[in-house]
Amino acid sequence: MKFKIPRSVLVVIHTAALEVLLLERADHAGFWQSVTGSLDREDETLPETARREVLEETGIDVSQHRLSDWGYTNDYEIYLHWRSRYAPGVTRNTEHVFGLELPERVPVRLAPREHLAFQWLPWQEAAARCFSSSNAAAILKLPEKVRTTA
C-alpha cells in the first residue's frame, strides 16, 4: 500500500466577485470543502500539487487562471477515520494554502469518486458551510488576499 504524504494543499477557488466553489465529499456526504490534496511524490512541488488537484477534482485548467500561494500553512491532527491512509505513526499534516481566481463561474466537472456535488456561494456563506475550520478560516481571508495580490 502506498501511504499518503502528510503535506497537502488547500486551494480556495473563487471568482472576482468573491463567490467560492465548494465541493461535497463523496466519502462523507454533507461535508463541504475547497479543493484539497496531498503531494503524490516527495519531489512534486506545491504549485504542481495544487494544479493537479484542481484539474482532477473540478476539471478546471489552472493555467488559464491566476493561482497564488497565500504564504501560510495549517498544521493539524489528521482525523482518526483518515489516518489509515498514512504511514503508521503519522498523525499530523501540513496544509499549504493557495487561491485560484477566476473572472467568473466556470463549468465544473467533478471526480465522482471524490465528490458528490458542487456549489458556488458568497464567501461568507462558503466559510460557514465548510466542515474544516482551517478551510473556513482560509475563505474568511479571501477579501484581504484578493486586495493584497491585485
What residue segments make up the domains of the chain, in order of their start?
A: 7-149
> With 0-12 CB in 10 A as exposed, 13-18 as middle and 19+ as buried, what is 68?
middle
19-34 burial string, b = 16+ CB within 10 Å, else e? bbbbbbbeeeeeebbb
The pLDDT, as a whole number, for residue 86 is 96
Nearest to 36 by CA among 65, 1, 79, 2: 79
Alpha helices (H) along 30-140? 46-58, 123-129, 133-140
What is the C-alpha separation between 138 and 131, in angstroms, rounded? 13
Contact indicator for 94, 9 with CB cutoff of 8 Å: no
The pLDDT, as a whole number, for residue 73 is 96
- What is 7-149's CATH number, 3.20.20.70, 3.90.800.10, 3.40.50.2000, 3.90.79.10? 3.90.79.10
Mean per-residue pLDDT over the chain, rounded? 95
User: pLDDT tens digits, residue range 54-91?
Assistant: 999 999 999 999 999 999 999 999 989 889 999 999 99
The pLDDT, as a whole number, for residue 82 is 87
The pLDDT, as a whole number, for residue 146 is 87
Alpha helices (H) along 2-141? 46-58, 123-129, 133-140
3-class SS of residue 104:
coil
